[in-house]
Amino acid sequence: MFIKRQLAIVVMISMGFLALAGQFINSDNLREFTDKDAPQWYMIIAAFAAFLGCINLLQLHSTKVIRRKKDWQYSIFTLVGFLLMIFFGFLYNGSTVGLGPHLKNEFSAFYWMYNYVYLPLSSTMFALLAFFVASASYRAFRIRNFEATLLLISGVLLMLGRVPIGALIPWWTVIIIYVSILFALFASKIKNKQVFFYSYFGANIFILILGFLLGWHVNLPSFLSIPLIQEWIMAVPATAGSRAIMIGIALGVVAQSFRIITGRERSILGD
Amino acid sequence: MRNFLIKLGTIDRKFIFVLIALAVLIPLLYPNLIELPIKVDKNTKIVFNSISELKSGDKVLLSFAYGASTKPEVHPMAIALLKHLFAKDIKVYIVSLWPESPIMANQAIKEIIDTKLFNLEEGVDYALFDYKTGGFIVIKGIAENFREVYKQDHNGNLIEDLTIMDDIYSVSDFDFVFDFSAGVPGNAEWVQYACDPKKIPLSSGCTSIMVTDAIPYIESGQLKGILAGMPGAAEYEKMVYDLLQQQLNKNSNLNKDAVLTKGKALARMSAQSVSHLLMVIFIVLGNVSYYFSRKNN
């Protein structure tokens, strides 16, 4: 109990304070510890953590199979795949080079398994995202309110702007998109449908004629080019959002680190 | 008509899956069926210009942090960048921060050698280093003392015996750092722990979903542009292909007899274009159906 709780808390607090002190106290020994020793320790512990992870995976899935828990059949695949890769990684070589370097030798059994089994399977799993995104966007990207409309418009512009087909969309299509968005926002305010549709078509025709007179079909203004709109979305609103999230995360990290080095946060001990 | 539009909203998702599969498969099987012009993004241009400004003999550190799942997206940009670097006779140092990355790095180098474009010698023109566990700690280690982290290359040769390693002690000894990543550790860790504190120019090539996280670093100048996912890879491939084609008979670093081939990302762009367009059509149809069903209710 003492080793699992009190000693662990003492180690956690003292290491936290030492690492923090290395950034503020001008001592060579302390700097040596934070810059050299602590990172080395971290790398050694991380290597052992990988080993522990393997044992944990074996334990978890073996128990699931033995006790016939829900979906235990999938665990058999996990265990077989795991043991097979261990066999080819540690016991069976298949190439002329020694064990160890054989992991990157294209004639070894391990490399064959990686290249022709794991790599296609892994890529397939990632590629499945395309199907789910397509299906989800069809059902979820709906003009429900102002925020959802903004998300939809920026999503569509980004999707088109990032691929070559976006550059092929003519300027007059972009004008129709702008006018449609504008009228979609004010649609609920105009009760008479006839007035609404006449003004919608009138606005489109007026701006298209204006575009021709201003020579937009020759010199394309940046607000009518979908790839340039996409670049602007990424450079301005997306950057602002990302920066806000980053600042939030940084403040959260400071608060959480303070809780850990003062011994208040004990979730890492399994509490 | 109205009923048909309302029914569109409740369409079986298997039908959408089949259409997406066809939209991806047909352009992949017949890449010349749809030839779309590639428009180069601002950030890709910045990456290309930053690499172009490097001089012969400069040293570039490449960080590989991706694996099998993201190989189709990130690997083509690694190949294109290696071609660009070797064409300028730049020394390349590759470190791996993901367990699978050494295999990716080996495959990238093998693909470059197989093109027969360059006369490369390992340990002189490039060096490969194996995976080290620890993520950002490895980056921090490289920033402070490269030789503390890596004692030997991936073949087991001591660093002291490699000609290419002369004068390399920390990240400050490199002229440029390029990160290929698909998660953590990635470009954010390189900015925070190595390149920004040591003032070494850094650029990155990553998956599309990572770009939003990297954008603040690009806007602040901490990242010199970015190759954003498959489109970024295709744009960079095109720029490098055009450059090598111009230089094939003039550049002494290139073998004149070698056959130049276009990269894989370029061929994949038509598949991505068609699938994106199809998704937009789905979204529009979904909204039309939503409008009529809401009106009915």
pLDDT digits (tens, 9 = 90+) for A33-70: 888 888 889 889 988 998 999 999 999 999 999 999 99
Residue B225, pLDDT above cutoff 80: yes
Residue B1, pLDDT above cutoff 80: no
Please tell me the pTM assigned to this model.
Answer: 0.91
pLDDT given at position A271: 65
**B170 within a domain of the structure (yes/no):** yes
> A242 and B212 in contact (C-beta within 8 Å)?
yes
DSSP code, position B261 = -
Q: Dihedral sign, CA of B161, B166, B172, B175?
A: negative
**Together in a domain, B152 and B225:** yes
Rounded to an integer, what distance in angstroms lies between the CA atom of residue B119 and that of residue B251? 13
**Together in a domain, B96 and B76:** yes
**B24 within a domain of the structure (yes/no):** yes
- Region A235-259: mean pLDDT is 94
Going by pLDDT thresholds of 50, 70 and 90, the confidence category of residue B254 is very high
Residue B16 touches chain A, beta carbons under 8 Å: yes
**B190 within a domain of the structure (yes/no):** yes
Name the residue among A12, A67, A90 with its Cα closest to residue A262. A12
Boundaries of domain holding B11: 2-31+269-296
> Of A36, A141, A165, which has the smallest distance from its Cβ to B283's Cβ?
A141
Rounded to an integer, what distance in angstroms lies between the CA atom of residue B95 and that of residue B62? 6
Rounded to an integer, what distance in angstroms lies between the CA atom of residue B134 and that of residue B66? 15
Rounded to an integer, what distance in angstroms lies between the CA atom of residue B179 and that of residue B135? 13
Residue A213 touches chain B, beta carbons under 8 Å: no
Quote the tokens at residue B229.
Answer: 């996912």
- Region B26-38: mean pLDDT is 85
- Region B86-94: mean pLDDT is 97
pLDDT given at position B231: 94
Rounded to an integer, what distance in angstroms lies between the CA atom of residue B126 and that of residue B220? 31
Q: What 3-state DSSP class applies to B208?
A: helix
Residue B70 touches chain A, beta carbons under 8 Å: yes
**B257 within a domain of the structure (yes/no):** yes
Q: Test A134 with B278 for CB contact under 8 angstroms.
A: yes
Rounded to an integer, what distance in angstroms lies between the CA atom of residue B264 and that of residue B233? 9
Q: How many domains does chain B have?
A: 2
Q: How far is B20 from chain A (nearest CA, A)?
A: 7
- Cross-strand partners of B203: B178
Residue B147 touches chain A, beta carbons under 8 Å: no
Across all residues in chain B, what is the average pLDDT?
A: 92
**Together in a domain, B217 and B81:** yes
Q: What 3-state DSSP class applies to A246?
A: helix
Name the residue among B232, B264, B207 with its Cα closest to residue A162. B232
Q: What 3-state DSSP class applies to B56?
A: coil
**Together in a domain, B11 and B129:** no
Rounded to an integer, what distance in angstroms lies between the CA atom of residue A213 and that of residue B197? 53
Q: Test A163 with B231 for CB contact under 8 angstroms.
A: yes
> A117 and B109 in contact (C-beta within 8 Å)?
no
Bond before B185 cis per omega within 30 degrees: yes
Mutate to test the interface with A, among B103, B136, B144, B211 (most CBs of A within 10 A): B103
**Together in a domain, B78 and B185:** yes
Q: How far is B195 from chain A (nearest CA, A)?
A: 16
Full DSSP string of B175-186: SEEEEEESSSSS
Per the model's pLDDT, the better-predicted residue between B284 and A251 turns out to be: A251
Q: What residues contact B131, with CB distance under 8 A and at least 6 apart?
A: B96, B97, B98, B99, B101, B102
**B231 within a domain of the structure (yes/no):** yes
Quote the tokens at residue B5.
Answer: 């539009």
> B266 and B237 in contact (C-beta within 8 Å)?
yes
**Together in a domain, B64 and B156:** yes
pLDDT given at position A161: 92
> A164 and B266 in contact (C-beta within 8 Å)?
no
Chain B contact set for A114 (CB, 8 A): 68, 100, 103
**Together in a domain, B273 and B250:** no
Rounded to an integer, what distance in angstroms lies between the CA atom of residue B150 and that of residue B147? 5
**B37 within a domain of the structure (yes/no):** no
Amino acid at A62: S
Quote the tokens at residue A119.
Answer: 């790599």
Quote the tokens at residue A26.
Answer: 């001008």
Quote the tokens at residue B178.
Answer: 């390029």
Whose tokens are 């990155």? That residue is B204
> A92 and A109 in contact (C-beta within 8 Å)?
yes
**Together in a domain, B99 and B225:** yes
Q: Where are the beta strands (DSSP E) in chain B?
A: 59-65, 91-96, 126-131, 176-181, 202-206, 226-228
> Of B148, B273, B282, which has the smallest distance from its Cβ to A137's Cβ?
B282
Chain A contact set for B278 (CB, 8 A): 134
**Together in a domain, B25 and B120:** no
Chain B contact set for A53 (CB, 8 A): none
Backbone angle region of B210, left / alpha / beta, with phi > 0 → left and psi within -120 to 50 → alpha: alpha
**Together in a domain, B283 and B189:** no
Residue B269 touches chain A, beta carbons under 8 Å: yes
Residue A202, pLDDT above cutoff 90: yes
Going by pLDDT thresholds of 50, 70 and 90, the confidence category of residue A80 is very high
Count of helix runs (H) and strand runs (E) in chain B: 12, 6
Rounded to an integer, what distance in angstroms lies between the CA atom of residue A80 and that of residue A99? 21
- Region A221-243: mean pLDDT is 92
Going by pLDDT thresholds of 50, 70 and 90, the confidence category of residue A122 is very high
**B36 within a domain of the structure (yes/no):** no
Residue B69, pLDDT above cutoff 80: yes
Neighbours of A148 (CB within 10 A): 13
pLDDT digits (tens, 9 = 90+) for B124-182: 999 999 999 899 999 999 999 999 999 999 999 999 999 999 999 999 999 999 999 99
pLDDT given at position A114: 93
- Region A169-198: mean pLDDT is 86
pLDDT given at position B77: 96
Cα–chain center distance at B261: 18
**pLDDT cut 90: percent of chain B above it:** 75
Going by pLDDT thresholds of 50, 70 and 90, the confidence category of residue B82 is very high
Per the model's pLDDT, the better-predicted residue between B217 and A263 turns out to be: B217
pLDDT given at position A134: 85
**Together in a domain, B279 and B158:** no
Q: Test A134 with B212 for CB contact under 8 angstroms.
A: no
Residue A247, pLDDT above cutoff 80: yes
Rounded to an integer, what distance in angstroms lies between the CA atom of residue B154 and that of residue B126? 12
Rounded to an integer, what distance in angstroms lies between the CA atom of residue B278 and that of residue B34? 15
Neighbours of B76 (CB within 10 A): 26
Rounded to an integer, what distance in angstroms lies between the CA atom of residue A43 and that of residue A5? 24
Chain A contact set for B212 (CB, 8 A): 234, 238, 241-242
**Together in a domain, B70 and B178:** yes
> Of A50, A138, A165, which has the smallest distance from its Cβ to B282's Cβ?
A138
- Region B243-249: mean pLDDT is 92
Q: Test B280 with A160 for CB contact under 8 angstroms.
A: yes
> B263 and B239 in contact (C-beta within 8 Å)?
no
pLDDT given at position B179: 97
Full DSSP string of chain A: -TIIIIIHHHHHHHHHHHHHHHHHS--HHHHHIIIIIHHHHHHHHHHHHHHHHHHHHHHHHHHHHHTT-TTHHHHHHHHHHHHHHHIIIII---SSSPTTGGGG-TTSHHHHHIIIIIHHHHHHHHHHHHHHHHHHHHHH----SHHHHHHHHHHHHHHHHTSHHHHTS-HHHHHHHHHHHHHHHHGGG---HHHHHHHHHHHHHHHHHHHHHHTTTTS--GGG-HHHHHHHHHHTHHHHHHHHHHHHHHHHHHHHHHHHHTT---GGGT-
> Of B13, B42, B287, which has the smallest distance from its Cβ to A143's Cβ?
B287
- Cross-strand partners of B95: B63
